[in-house]
Structure 1
Amino acid sequence: MDPEEVIARRVAREIRPGTLVNLGIGIPTLVSDHLDERLGVFFQAENGAVGMGHRPPEGMTDRHLTDAGGSFVSAVPGASIIDSAFSFGLIRGGHLDLTVLGGLQVDAKGHLANWMIPGRFVPGMGGAMDLVTGAKKVIVAMRHRAKGVSKVVQECDLPLTSQRRVDLIVTELAVMKPMDDGLHLLETGPGIGVDRVVAATDAALVITGRIPEMDLSGSI
């Protein structure tokens, strides 16, 4: 299975019916494809879309319906288009049940870094600072390594997005949860052993008992 599909499928299992969920740019946008639209989940994007559905088939796109990254989306019954100020009011007001964000680094304390240096041709802050601070739950969905380097580190050396600890980290190799006593390994990816996860991770992992594999069976 494609690594990004593994991540999106696993994150989809964390989403509960009837919730308001923000999907960040990149891998997070794939999550909605693995949820049944009848669950009543409303996906929100910073640009003002509330009620995004699955990605539309080729030839069925509407240039007025995009997510925050500019990718085409569909709309579910009851969807709304609001202005950016109203959208950030939802975020900053604590009305989001969950946000799913990509990351450049996450450290053993659960700190997220998903932006770099302004003025250079690298990722910018976007709305991530508001999302990490304002959402009730924060999940990071990212590849475990980039260019041979672990993105799960002992301490971030990139600028932090927020001082708040994220709730869950999902990669193609593992599901990890930052807690007071360290970064706990909860699950491994399909066909992935614990030793491989440890070898691919710069951060120290807390490993207790038998670690199960991710359950990726079907759409939710």
Structure 2
Amino acid sequence: MDPKEMIARRAAKELSNGEIVNLGFGIPNAVANYVPEGVEVLLEAENGALVFGGAPKLGADDPDIGNAGGLPITMIPGSACFDLATSFCIIRGGHVNTTILGALEVDQEGNIANWATPVAPGKWSPGMGGAMDLVSGAKKVIATLIHTVKGNPKILKKCQLPLTGKGCVSKIITEKCVFEVTPQGLMLTELAEGVTVDELRSCTEAEFYVAPTVTHYQL
């Protein structure tokens, strides 16, 4: 299975009945396709959509209706589209229960960097977007990311890129494991099939401790 699909499927397991859940750009957008059966959530996109489903079938998409990444979504009974001002009233007003965000880096203090990469001295791309509002307005922040890039760890002792938010992440989900952010640091709670704790330490710069019971990564 593709690592990004693994992460999206695992992140979908975090959803609970009745939640308003914001899905960010990248991996999180795919979570809409894997909402567990029997779980009813109100998915929200920062560009102005509330209550929608997964990706439509080929040919059934509407080019005027998309998620935060511009990809088509399925409108379902109860769906609503509105302007950015209304969307950010929902976010800044504290009405979002959970936001699932992509990340460039996260660290053992629960900091997240997900908006900027250097393109020239003093210049960054692509731009902050709505992430800074989501990390402060949502009650729970889940970071999703590929564990390493070209062998370089993305879960660090301290983020190196400009921060989106400080101490806001409660859970980190990669294709290798799940960490919870606790006052004592990162706690390993789940491992993907075939991944060992020693292997995980070798590709994770951040320090972490192992929960008394570590379960298998459930998809």
User: Does the TM-score normalized on the shorter chain lie above 0.5?
Assistant: yes
Q: 1:38 and 1:51 mapped to 2: Cα distance?
A: 15
Helix, strand or coil at the partner of 1:122: strand
Q: CA deviation at 1:32?
A: 1.2
Matched ranges for 1:86-165 at <5 A:
86-116=86-116, 120=123, 122-165=125-168
Q: CA deviation at 1:210?
A: 4.2
Do 1:114 and 1:123's aligned partners in 2 also have CA atoms closer than 8 Å? no
Q: 2:146 and 2:40 mapped to 1: Cα distance?
A: 28
Give percent identity, aligned residues only: 44
| C-alpha spacing 1:37/1:80, structure 2 compared with 1 (3 Å) | farther
Helix, strand or coil at the partner of 2:198: helix
Q: 1:195 and 1:3 mapped to 2: Cα distance?
A: 20
| C-alpha spacing 1:127/1:192, structure 2 compared with 1 (3 Å) | same
Q: CA deviation at 1:195?
A: 1.4
Code of the aligned partner of 2:191: T
Query: What does the per-residue CA deviation read over 1:117-166, in whole Å, with 9 as the maximum and x for residues that have no partner?
Result: 58757332110000000001100011111122111000011111112321
RMSD: 1.6
Partner residue in 2 for 1:209: 212
Query: What does the per-residue CA deviation read over 1:49-107, in whole Å, with 9 as the maximum and x for residues that have no partner?
Result: 11121100111110111011111111121000011000000000000010000001001
Do 1:140 and 1:169's aligned partners in 2 also have CA atoms closer than 8 Å? yes
Do 1:185 and 1:206's aligned partners in 2 also have CA atoms closer than 8 Å? yes
Q: 1:5 and 1:30 mapped to 2: Cα distance?
A: 7
Q: 2:71 and 2:210 mapped to 1: Cα distance?
A: 38
Helix, strand or coil at the partner of 1:209: strand
TM-score, structure 1 normalization: 0.93
Do 1:118 and 1:124's aligned partners in 2 also have CA atoms closer than 8 Å? no
Helix, strand or coil at the partner of 1:164: coil
Code of the aligned partner of 2:15: I
Do 2:171 and 2:179's aligned partners in 1 also have CA atoms closer than 8 Å? yes
Do 2:46 and 2:87's aligned partners in 1 also have CA atoms closer than 8 Å? yes
Q: 2:216 and 2:53 mapped to 1: Cα distance?
A: 29
Partner residue in 1 for 2:61: 61
Helix, strand or coil at the partner of 1:39: coil
Partner residue in 1 for 2:191: 188
Q: Given the alignment of the two structures, is residue 14 of structure 1 paired with residue 14 of structure 2, yes or no?
A: yes
Q: 2:8 and 2:172 mapped to 1: Cα distance?
A: 12
Q: 1:165 and 1:70 mapped to 2: Cα distance?
A: 26
Partner residue in 2 for 1:5: 5
- Give structure 1 regions of 4+ aligned residues with deviation exceeding 4 angstroms: 117-121
Code of the aligned partner of 1:78: G
Partner residue in 1 for 2:31: 31
| Alignment equivalent of 1:176, drawn from 173, 179, 198 | 179
